[in-house]
A = this chain, B = another copy of it.
């Protein structure tokens, strides 16, 4: 909404920081109230996720990481659905028009928009007296009828996750000065790795086509592996058995577990992983693992879908069952 004649505060803010991101012709350079998403008969996949200061990110997180996280949590949903990013709209609720915050925010958002080929199409900037909030609605394209849902998991399917689990929860714990911070007091490199995993998720859009080609059901792990798997199982009308020692851990996280500084339960129910959780027939597993190898993303089989409607069971190395006190993070 750039208006050279009578620039209001909101208009000049949008023109200065966000117009450069609106590279798609459907964004009309942000001079209109609406954008156009072209379609030639594919399905448009729509996902929306908001992050709130003090809830989903910390007030003193760097603005560039806040921007990347806000977009990437949505990109992660598109990846899990097998969709190719097509663009996004942004609602930004700001307390103040602080150039020192907005410039790195917009620059980083623009970098991610380019590198994930997901251009800014439009948005709304509003003032708030409360915590800042960023709400993004992202769009993807998928061949008609080919979106990967949560309901297709079948008994016998293998369960895979990408990357490593639990790092982000430990990164938040480091930032909050919790047990992980104390245990890593003399290991700044490990702290940095975990904090980066919390602040800047790595959505697995590079595997979207493999998800579409091979997965029977998929979602991203955002609220904790245990709780998210329970949701996928419930939607599919199945249960699951997880071989807990197979759950992939990063080196810093595995070190903390080995030293007894954190328990595996906290990793399984921690949030903010933004890894893919897929089910697929055993016969397709090698293909998905190969696709991961080609893309440089670890793909690890962690268990099996079984009949039933109980909560998924997490078995320890001796075949005993872990009892999880909570399955996932909930804001209420």
Which residues of chain B have C-beta atoms less than 8 A from A149's C-beta? 28, 32
The answer to whether A56 and B332 touch across the interface, beta carbons within 8 angstroms, is no
- Tell me, in angstroms, the Cα distance from A295 to B291 when the chains sit together: 57
Q: Pick from B47, B122, B235, B309: contact of A47, CB below 8 A.
A: B122
The answer to whether B135 and A50 touch across the interface, beta carbons within 8 angstroms, is yes
Binds B, one of A36-44, A170-178, A204-212: A36-44
The answer to whether B41 and A34 touch across the interface, beta carbons within 8 angstroms, is no
- Is A131 engaged at the interface, CB distance under 8 Å to the other chain? yes
- Is A234 engaged at the interface, CB distance under 8 Å to the other chain? yes
- Is A100 engaged at the interface, CB distance under 8 Å to the other chain? no
Known contacts A32-B150, A332-B127; A6/B44 CB under 8 A: no
Interface string of A222-266 (1 = CB under 8 A from B): 110001001101110000000000000000000000000000000
Which residues of chain B have C-beta atoms less than 8 A from A133's C-beta? 93, 126, 128, 133
Binds B, one of A78-86, A157-165, A184-192: A78-86
Binds B, one of A7-15, A60-68, A103-111: A7-15
Which residues of chain B have C-beta atoms less than 8 A from A34's C-beta? 45-47, 77-78, 80-81, 83, 140, 147
The answer to whether B330 and A93 touch across the interface, beta carbons within 8 angstroms, is no
The answer to whether B44 and A97 touch across the interface, beta carbons within 8 angstroms, is no
The answer to whether B135 and A124 touch across the interface, beta carbons within 8 angstroms, is yes
- Interface positions of A (Cβ within 8 A of B): 1, 3-6, 8-11, 13, 28, 31-52, 54-56, 77-78, 80-81, 83, 89-91, 93, 97, 121-131, 133, 135, 137, 139-140, 144, 147, 149-151, 219-220, 222-223, 227, 230-231, 233-235, 309-311, 327-328, 330-332
